[in-house]
Chains A and B, each alone.
Chain A
Amino acid sequence: MTQFALVIDLNVCVGCHACVTNCKQWNTSGNAGPLADVNPYEADPRGTFFNRVLHYEVGTYPETETVYLPKSCMHCEEAPCVPVCPTGASYKREEDGIVLVDYDKCIGCKYCSWACPYGAREYDEARRVMTKCTLCVDRLYDPTLPEERRKPSCVLACPAGARIFGDIHDPDSEASRLIREQGGFTLMPELGARPANHYLPRKKRELAISEEQVERVHSPTALRSAPHAVGLKPIEEEL
């Protein structure tokens, strides 16, 4: 059974918000839109965004890590938003695991946003319905798009390539491979929702240099004597 999901690589995400606005521009005039903006040019503007980037500082100076965490609907395998919906508007598709909201059935009661452990639901103040990430389902199957563009807008936009879209139930997908090989994890797994979206951790690359390496005399590009060593005549370079 297919389970589409995003794998988000925190090792390369620089928090640029490309995923945030490009999600908005696709979806606001796509099938899940429009995504309203309240007070767009006034005080306290707030709008509907299916995807947001959280910014954390971890650790204390100077061992500080600045972490950007893009967050949208996790398309949970045991989605807590689905059973709480009184009208059946909130549902999970069998064929691809995408969690969607049927706006025609949604009465805007917000039970689902209380049930969602990830705060991923976005109440639309214009239409008074609950909205959320659709994984750009209206792109995924659109035969008028070139095949390589049948992906969520955020994935196509991401300048760092930090968002990988795929079927996490297909062990051969790139998404599954990355989760497997790079220690992919989900947020708050203890809650049992089995989020489909995964994150890849930060990795640190160190360089160990031994004293011997630095002091090595047979440098192909350097003199054998330091220039300040008075009286020593430089010897032939090894070109």
Chain B
Amino acid sequence: MNEVDSDYLASAITDGVKKTTCYMCACRCGIVVHVKNGKVRYIEGNPDHPLNAGVICAKGGSGIMKEYSPARLTQPLRRKEGAERGMAQFEPISWEEAFSLLTERLARIRATDPKQFALFTGRDQMQALTGLFAREFGTPNYAAHGGFCSVNMAAGMIYTIGGSFWEFGGPDLERAKLFVMIGTAEDHHSNPLKRHIAAFKRRGGRFIAINPVRTGYAAIADEWIPIRPGSDGALFLALMRELIAKNLYDREFLSEFTNAAYLVDVTPGSAEEGLLVRHPEGDPINPLRPHNFSWWDAEKEQWVPDHTPGVRPLLEGERTLPDGRRVKPAFQLLWESLADCTPEWASEQTGIPAARIVKLAHEMGVVARDFQIELPIAWTDWWGRKHERVIGRPVAFHAMRGLAAHSNGFQTIRALALLMTLLGTIDRPGGFRHRAPYPRAVPPNARPPKGPEAIQPGAPLKGAPLGWVEFPEDLAVDEAGNPLRIDKGFSWEHPLSAHGLMHNVITNAWRGDPYPIDTLLLFMANMAWNSTMNTTEVRKMLTDKRADGEYKIPFLVVCDAFYSETVAFADLVLPDTTYLERFDCLSMLDRPISEFDGPVDACRVPVVAPPPGVKPFQEVLLELGWRLRLNAFTNPDGSRKYRNYPDFIVRFETAPNSGIGFLAGWRGENGTLAMRGAPNPEQWKRYEEHGCFFHYELPPGLRYMRNWNRDYLKWAQEVGLRRDFDPIVIHVYSEILQRFRLAAEGRWPGRQPPAELRERVRRFFAPLPFWYPPLEDEHTDRERYPLRALTQRPMAMYHSWDSQNAWLRQIHTYNFLYVHPQTAQAAGVEDGGWMWVESRWGKVRCLCRYSDAVEPGTVWTWNAIGKAAGAWNLAPDANESQQGFLLNHLIREELPFGERTISNSDPITGQAGWYDVRVRIYPADPTEPPQSWPQFAPMPAEIPGMAKRPGGVIAYPTVMSVEEAAAMQESMKSPWAFLFQKQGASR
């Protein structure tokens, strides 16, 4: 036992019960794990946990089988000398060898050109650590999977209301009367959403689901409104238009808490055209983000600073300032921008009858207005006005990747945020509620590196690898406007790419555009399979070589606990722990599990001992960080700063003596402080005693209207959730976007886009939301490819994480393409028959299933059920690879752009346009093999340290033969065995 491991072994138990946090998906419920004879016996929900209150899902209940997976990697592996990449030919090496090899390589890169090292992570829930490592290393080439997941949802809402769905906010179903769910089947916030939707329905709430497909939560909706993929933005614009036309919106809320009444310079040709007018006598509040905007006093007809007491601001019309500038309130511009967004127009885009769109707007507007909630909670707004009550408008929304994963997603989600704002539902009871650390500034304060000078050999990166762009000057580009990052994040191609563009990393690195890299480290990201677009070609890129025989991406390191498709391509494999074997924290610095009523963070502690050869990725980073002598992980004398990850979590502070660390509970030397306080060496113990979570309940006066709640904002700054003490006014009108438009028009005094990108930036950076068809439509023959194809996430299987799970794979063993019967019949495809689905970019052979629960223009399947043969140590003829299929082969990571290509993403955020693909379908020829296509050579099962796959019959808790199973039954001398003796039948 070495020092690093000692805490792990001390935490593990062989018999008894231990509380920790689930990680069978990103929901992160509290669990109680029962251990018997060193093996996990039963995992139940923690009844005291705020997230799941004792319940647990199908995945959580199958956590045991993760521990028994034969796909488990148990020792570091190196690609065999002479073996080709992709063949999974490995030899075992020691951790010391692995660290030496990595340290030597990374030290060389760091000393010469740090950006040659790229670190990209999948469903990483320790981005505060992985991001810190990248920053300290000095590379800008870091991101987690957000760019290909749902950055549009985060960015679209954060750039509008300073918060977002998922971990960062959600629908207040406890008080809502009407719940509208759009583009969601299953969710991150999985168990809480199930709990709350069920309770909402039982209370008599009305639930409307808008989705091309009726599955998941939508199954229990009171009404399903099918919609064409990618058209949601048109629906929102039409709803807004109807709400405004019928006066069914919250005018007071708009005036007071958003920039709807702020004056916009509309002087034609002015350099300031489209920017908000600052008032010289206004209070800037915050010099880093001046707030001195303008209103027009509607009664006295004069120009005044915004929020001048006693003034009712003008919302409609046009006025002239004393200096001759023409101005309009932002709301006037919003109304003008909606002029053509009639229900009939939206009906053409969405397929929803115009009358239904109108009725939907009326339902929302009438419920918001006539079911007003008044809570007897006093609060004070930013401007010092005391309110006796908190007002609520009980219309709640939830949305997810159905909106986000389109190339028009950012503007669509802006439109949704404005719809919610018009109804007056932001951080109010019954509507949308924030979760800490949100709300944050629009946009939050972190900024990406601003130029090549931010990247220096042997030095940390200047700036955070990821951040929020506010001005063209914040972009990560060089003098000529070329991207600094390998994924071209924060460049003119995708200026607001807050989560990077992981989906383009391999293609760009392979092409050497904008430059080649040396080492790519992937953590928990299946980039050779379901986490990549254009899977077949990307796999080729990983094995493609330069003229000199070296791989185009010379060194690929993969860290994973299981034998994924991507592991086969690794030059170095680092075996990770499972969630039951490691320390983790779900930190306020990252993506915590907060509730509406206050911050919640959580941790994991080892319940069972990790296998001897594996190492948690966190420990790998700490060790590497020290070996590379990165400041954050090394003492001034060169010694190792942190004994191990638990020690790091307890002692790390965001700045010297900031009192802010990874975990917010039980801080201070005596463990009596919350949110902020000196490191407490006993912090892990306190968390363990309290079920591995910390819940800070805000006083009622600080729970609502937090964008403008003075006491909350003060508290948030004091505890370090926010840097500044200023209000977070909703950006109905986005001046940030307008700055980019001005730059594209050559009217911005600073940075301007390269010529080839000017029209693109000008077109999409509209300061008010608008709808355009997904960009793929411009490159695809819509007659030839009339259908849209998309995927959804099944509740019992979280992407590729658990195909190796003996129980979960029985629920989803393979997938069908679900097709409306008329669509299928028109194409001659039979129910249950083999068919082809083809896009402009590729084709896939799969099985068809007729479904009346999908709109006729859409075909869909479950995501990531299909596997490569032999992957995850499933048999080469397992159903996952033979009948299951992956839609990704049809989806391109790039689209044509003039003479070159550009990422197939939202042009604002770089969000991957997964659901934009257009397809056609036709039957497979009867002579074709009854097998999905494409197929790949099976991955070998003989990997050093990987278990032999048990065949035949097994029975948990011990993998055993039939005879052994019978013997075990005999030997079970439970005190309750008498219950199984016959005690008299009823007849």
Contacts and interface: CB of A to CB of B under 8 A. Distances in A.
A149 B247 CA distance: 52
B205 A205 contact: yes
Contact of B206 (A61, A95, A207, A215): A207
27 contacts: A11-B202, A14-B217, A17-B57, A21-B811, A25-B42, A25-B43, A28-B956, A34-B968, A37-B807, A37-B954, A42-B949, A43-B882, A46-B810, A59-B852, A61-B226, A61-B820, A61-B853, A64-B224, A93-B984, A103-B980, A141-B976, A161-B55, A205-B201, A207-B363, A219-B248, A224-B247, A237-B251
B45 A156 contact: yes
B807 A209 contact: no
A38 B59 CA distance: 20
A37 B216 CA distance: 27
Contacts of A57: 851-853
Interface in A12-65: 12-18, 20-22, 24-26, 28-47, 49, 57, 59-62, 64-65
B795 interface: yes
A125 B251 contact: no
Nearest to B62: A21
A156 B252 contact: no
Interface string A64-101: 11111000000000010011000010011111010010
Contacts of B216: 14-15
Interface residues of A, number: 101
B589 interface: no
**Which among A41, A92, A95, A102 has the highest number of chain B CB atoms within 10 Å?**
A41
A61 B41 CA distance: 45
Contacts of A126: 953, 955, 962, 965-966
Interface string B222-259: 11101000000000000000001111111111000000
B981 interface: yes
B510 to A, nearest CB: 33
B204 interface: yes
B813 A45 contact: yes
A12 B806 contact: no
A177 interface: no
Nearest to B226: A62
B979 interface: yes
B436 interface: no
A38 B953 contact: yes
A221 B426 CA distance: 15
A112 to B, nearest CB: 13
B201 A11 contact: yes
A189 interface: no
Nearest to B976: A138
Interface string A139-180: 001100000110001001111111000000000000000000
Contacts of B244: 226-227
Contact of A105 (B224, B875, B982, B987): B982
Interface in B297-321: 298, 312, 315-316
B856 interface: yes
B957 A34 contact: yes
Interface string B842-880: 000000000111111000000000000000011101110
Contacts of A206: 206, 222
Interface stretch (B366-374, B375-383, B568-576): B366-374
Nearest to A38: B953
B980 A222 contact: no
Contacts of B252: 221, 237, 239
A180 B223 CA distance: 26
Interface stretch (B192-200, B404-412, B756-764): B192-200
A205 B976 contact: no
A75 B80 CA distance: 59
| Chain A interface mostly | loop
Interface residues of B, number: 122
B248 to A, nearest CB: 7
Contacts of B365: 214
Contact of A157 (B56, B246, B855, B949): B56
A181 interface: no
A12 B204 CA distance: 12
B61 interface: yes
A142 B980 contact: no
A47 B806 contact: yes
Nearest to B363: A207
A224 B852 CA distance: 44
B444 to A, nearest CB: 30
Nearest to A20: B58
A25 B851 CA distance: 32
Given A42-B878, A59-B852, A157-B44, A12 B201 contact: yes
Contacts of A239: 252
A29 B247 contact: no
Which 5 residue pairs spanning A and B have beta carbons closest together?
Answer: A34-B955, A222-B247, A22-B61, A159-B194, A40-B806
B950 A41 contact: yes
A24 B957 CA distance: 11
Contacts of B956: 25, 28-29, 34-35, 37
A41 B986 contact: no
A184 to B, nearest CB: 15
B979 A160 contact: no
B424 interface: yes
Nearest to B207: A205
A26 B106 CA distance: 47
